[in-house]
Amino acid sequence: MAGTHPCLSCGACCAAFRVDFSVYESQEHGGRVPLGLIEPVTEFTCRLRGTDYARPRCAALTGTVGQQVACGIYEWRPSPCREFAAGSDACNRVRRQHGLALLA
């Protein structure tokens, strides 16, 4: 559909990387990332559940990668997700891995 954001039919980065962030972004420590989606890593770091599996896929991702996806915690997603830029080299690398066309 014309004008639709490319991420809505992608989701490759949510099924490619280990996503770690500060514990202070978690609900438990005054942040907004829901506890049910978090795995502890160290005293100061935690991880989005599912992103360290052999075939990574964030537990918050719904839909089918490369077709139609949504982030179940979009408003509360952690900083690595907010900072990941569509059309960046890393974005296009994972799009290629998932057999998707590169973004300009």
Residues that bind ligand SF4 (CB under 6 A): 6-7, 10-14, 19, 48, 58, 60-61, 71, 73, 77, 81, 84, 86, 91, 94-95, 103
What three-state secondary structure class fits 101?
coil
Placement of tokens 């990941």 in the chain? 84
Shortest Å distance, C-beta 84 to ligand SF4:
5
Which residue, 31 or 95, has its beta carbon nearer to ligand SF4?
95
- Outline where 15-83 has alpha helix (H): 79-83
The H or E element that residue 70 is part of is: strand 68-71
Which residue, 43 or 75, has its beta carbon nearer to ligand SF4?
75
